[in-house]
Amino acid sequence: MTAAVLTEPATPGQSGTHRTRRRAFGGGNPIVYGLALVVVAVTVGPVLYGVLGGFRTNAQLAENPAGLPDPWVLTNYAKVLTSGTFWQYALNSTVIAVTTTAIVVVFGIMAAYPLARYQFRGREQLFLVFVLGLLFPVTVAIIPLFILVTGSLHLGNTWWGVALPQAAFALPMTVVILRPFLQALPDELEEAALLDGASRIGFFWRILVPLSGPGMVTVGVLAFVGSWNAYLLPLLLLQGDMKTLPLGVADFSSEHASDTAGVFAFTTLAMIPALVFFLAMQKRIVNGLQGAVKG
Amino acid sequence: MPDRTAEVADRDAPSASSTPSVPSAGRTSVRPAGGGPGGRRRTGSQWRKRLEILFFTAPALILFTLFVVWPIIKAVQFSFYRWKGFGPLVDFVGLKNYVSVLQNDVFIGALEHNLIVVVMSIVLQLPLGLAIALLLNRRMRGQGTLRTIIFVPYVLAEVIAGVVWFQLLQPQYGVIDTLLGAVGLHGPEQGFLGTPKYALMTVIVVLTWKYLGLAVLLFLAGLQSVPDELYEAAQIDGAGWWETQRRIAIPLLGPTIRTWAFLSMIGSLQLFDMVWILTGGGPANATTTMATFLVTEGTKRHNFGIASAASVILFVVALVLALTYQRFVLRRDLQPSRTHKAKKVTR
């Protein structure tokens, strides 16, 4: 089951099964392609419309909403890119997402290690604490969190104020994905290391951490995307120059509601980082989600 | 189960060195110097082990306690007080907040909307997702690219998807109304999002667009883990494409579908971002969810007691749903995997 997360290096075998599948069912007929085309059109249509809309003027959009840019104008994009606030928001989003990811990965793998490879009383109960954490969305705790972060900790409107709670809420998923991953590493490795005189901490740093690279990247990517796209917590905690891109997009959309082209340009630029990150890390995200479901 | 046997094994270890075969049966990992005689070293290594466990788990546990456990406990506490967010918690009102939340038509409406979203998400996404996954699981050019494209909406922030759809759905000037006009149909006067009758359904359609990619991706992964021999055997037996899917692929996809449905339900109960962007809960509270209700009460009206009671109710609803689902649906999937694991250990 957990093999789903671990099959990464076995891609040649996978493509082999693909080939047999292809022989088994040759179904690439025109109807299939036609249907696939419809699915693609519906899926990317709205996104593409937004991207193209950014290259049009409001007059063009009002005159013929379903048309193409004619002529193409760059002013909407240029205005956003030279505005400063966009870059400030992008910086905030980046710092918060990187901080969240770093905390989640380091704390997560540390916690998953004893839960996976130590025998001790209460281990399953401790694991259950994290599993139950999956059931608590940030929504449930949002009011006390707001009071805790802005009041007691004086972290309101700071990067840390958002990153720390986000990391805490991402921990359960991380531990739940990483534990089976660490359990699946063969016992022989540990025996060999211990025979060679390594301590368990030494085993953790020198063998376990390097070997669990793929698992850490997976949970890291999930944490990053989660933080990058988060809305509710930043909405309550961040104001002014500290806002993240989703907040910026929502603000821009409500403040410049009549400037449709401008909204499209701002939104398009805000989605680029997530899309690029996704394309670069696609395999990891896909594996992570599948691992989470199958694990 | 495994830790219990290990515990027993621990206690037995010093005396049972002559019969090593018994305690080692249930072990999954090897402990260092554990078999060595000499009680003193043993207790020393026990302490060392405890310290190591503490060292590794403490950072995560502290963070988790401070930002997850503590706020949730506070939420439960707040829910018993009338509190506007300043001054001490003194106005204890017992269950009054819960009563007033449960008698509040807006909250009951929100709960209904959440449940409608739970059901409709599955009703819409399951057949569509299955159909697309089966479609993509055939031999075709560009399968990888197609899969990537279908997954794109899932990666976008709900806010970003929401803002784009909000523009598309603008009454009259939006592209959706224009396209409808081109085929002779008229969108509602106030737009799909501005008309109470259509607003919730429109939000659900946008959510389907956003989350269908996840269903397709997971189903496709499930389909591709079906051994080819099964397909080949079915083919040899003369089964056609559809019959093979219906009799082999879809039943084998069962566990994936059940887990996906679980994630989908939990997500639907927590729905906030998309609604907040598209409608803000309106028009006339036609699209409020439990989350938008509690955020409005908490941050706009500063009724922290009411908001906390609502959040506790939200959690209880999610918990009851999760436990019921676990009990009646997921159990089937968990059982075999457990026996499978046990087999692996005893081997």
pLDDT tens for each residue of B69-81: 999 999 999 999 9
Q: How far is B59 from chain A (nearest CA, A)?
A: 6
Determine, for residues B132 and A187 on separate chains, whether the beta-carbon distance falls below 8 Å: no
Could you report the per-residue pLDDT of B230-282, keeping only the tens digit for each?
Answer: 878 887 888 777 888 888 888 888 888 888 898 899 889 989 999 999 998 87
Q: What is the pLDDT of residue A260?
A: 87
Is some CB atom of chain A closer than 8 A to the CB atom of B211?
no
Q: How far is B150 from chain A (nearest CA, A)?
A: 6
Is some CB atom of chain A closer than 8 A to the CB atom of B71?
yes
* Mean pLDDT value across chain B: 80
Is some CB atom of chain A closer than 8 A to the CB atom of B132?
yes
Q: DSSP label at B156?
A: S
Quickly state the pLDDT bin for B332 (edges 50, 70, 90): low
Q: Is the pLDDT of residue A250 over 60?
A: yes
CA-based nearest residue to A173, from A3, A11, A5: A5
| Chain B residues lying within 8 Å of A110, measured CB to CB | 55-57, 59-60
Of B138, B308, B322, the CB nearest to A27: B138
Is some CB atom of chain A closer than 8 A to the CB atom of B313?
no
Q: How far is A21 from chain B (nearest CA, A)?
A: 6
Q: How far is A153 from chain B (nearest CA, A)?
A: 11
CA-based nearest residue to B292, from A142, A276, A254, A198: A142
Q: Is the pLDDT of residue B27 over 60?
A: no
Q: What is the pTM of this model?
A: 0.81
Q: Tell me the mean pLDDT in the region A228-239.
A: 91
Q: What is the pLDDT of residue B329?
A: 77
Determine, for residues B52 and A250 on separate chains, whether the beta-carbon distance falls below 8 Å: no
Quickly state the pLDDT bin for B67 (edges 50, 70, 90): very high
Three-state SS sequence of B73-126? HHHHHHCCECCCCCCCCCCECCCHHHHHHHCCHHHHHHHHHHHHHHHHHHHHHH
- As beta bridge partners, residue B92 has B81
Which residues 6+ apart lie within 8 Å of A73 measured at CB? A55, A56, A57, A261
Is some CB atom of chain A closer than 8 A to the CB atom of B57?
yes
Residues of chain A numbered 118-177 and touching chain B (CB < 8 Å): 118-124, 126, 129-130, 133, 135-137, 139-148, 164-165, 167-169, 171-172, 175
Half-sphere exposure of A58 (CA within 13 A, CB side): 9
Q: What is the pLDDT of residue B334?
A: 57
Q: What is the pLDDT of residue A132?
A: 83
Q: How far is B274 from chain A (nearest CA, A)?
A: 10
Q: What is the pLDDT of residue A194?
A: 83
Determine, for residues A142 and B138 on separate chains, whether the beta-carbon distance falls below 8 Å: no
Q: What is the pLDDT of residue A24?
A: 42
Could you report the per-residue pLDDT of A33-89, keeping only the tens digit for each?
Answer: 888 889 899 999 999 999 998 898 888 887 777 778 888 888 889 888 988 889 999
Instruction: Report the alpha-carbon distance of residue A235 to residue A243 in Å, rounded.
Output: 8
| Chain B residues lying within 8 Å of A282, measured CB to CB | 148, 151
DSSP E strands, B183-229: none
Structure tokens at A193: 């290391």
Q: How far is A82 from chain B (nearest CA, A)?
A: 20
Q: Is the pLDDT of residue B292 over 90?
A: yes
Q: Tell me the mean pLDDT in the region B288-305.
A: 90
| Chain B residues lying within 8 Å of A61, measured CB to CB | 173
Domains of chain A: 2-75 (no CATH), 81-294 (1.10.3720.10)
Of the listed ranges A13-17, B115-119, B243-247, the least confidently predicted one is A13-17
Q: What is the pLDDT of residue B40?
A: 53
Q: How far is A70 from chain B (nearest CA, A)?
A: 16
| Chain A residues lying within 8 Å of B146, measured CB to CB | 36, 39-40
Residues of chain A numbered 68-97 and touching chain B (CB < 8 Å): none
Q: What is the pLDDT of residue B42?
A: 63
Is some CB atom of chain B closer than 8 A to the CB atom of A19?
no
Q: What is the pLDDT of residue A291?
A: 64
Residues of chain A numbered 189-218 and touching chain B (CB < 8 Å): 190-191, 194, 199-201, 204
Is some CB atom of chain A closer than 8 A to the CB atom of B301?
no
Q: Tell me the mean pLDDT in the region B91-96.
A: 88
Q: How far is B19 from chain A (nearest CA, A)?
A: 21
Q: Is the pLDDT of residue A31 over 50?
A: yes
Exposure string over B308-332, b if 16+ CB within 10 A, otherwise e:
bbbbbbbbebbeebbeebeeeebee
**pLDDT: is B104 or A21 the higher one?**
B104
| Chain B residues lying within 8 Å of A24, measured CB to CB | 228, 231-232, 235
Instruction: Report the alpha-carbon distance of residue B261 to residue A293 in Å, rounded.
Output: 10
Determine, for residues A143 and B307 on separate chains, whether the beta-carbon distance falls below 8 Å: yes
Amino acid at B44: G
Could you report the per-residue pLDDT of A115-169, keeping only the tens digit for each?
Answer: 988 888 888 888 888 888 887 878 888 888 988 898 888 888 899 999 999 999 9
Which residues 6+ apart lie within 8 Å of A259 measured at CB? A58
Is some CB atom of chain A closer than 8 A to the CB atom of B178?
yes
Residues of chain B numbered 322-341 and touching chain A (CB < 8 Å): 322, 337, 340
Q: What is the pLDDT of residue A139?
A: 84
Instruction: Report the alpha-carbon distance of residue B324 to residue B41 in Å, rounded.
Output: 48
Structure tokens at B267: 């997500």
What phi-psi label fits residue B280: left (phi over 0), alpha (psi between -120 and 50 degrees) or beta? left
Q: Is the pLDDT of residue A3 over 70?
A: no
Structure tokens at B48: 């060392």
What phi-psi label fits residue B188: left (phi over 0), alpha (psi between -120 and 50 degrees) or beta? beta
Half-sphere exposure of B263 (CA within 13 A, CB side): 18
Q: What is the pLDDT of residue B36?
A: 41
Amino acid at B10: D
**pLDDT: is A22 or A58 the higher one?**
A58
Quickly state the pLDDT bin for A100 (edges 50, 70, 90): very high
Instruction: Report the alpha-carbon distance of residue B91 to residue B289 in Å, rounded.
Output: 28
Q: Tell me the mean pLDDT in the region B178-201.
A: 86
Amino acid at A116: A
Instruction: Report the alpha-carbon distance of residue A270 to residue A163 in Å, rounded.
Output: 20
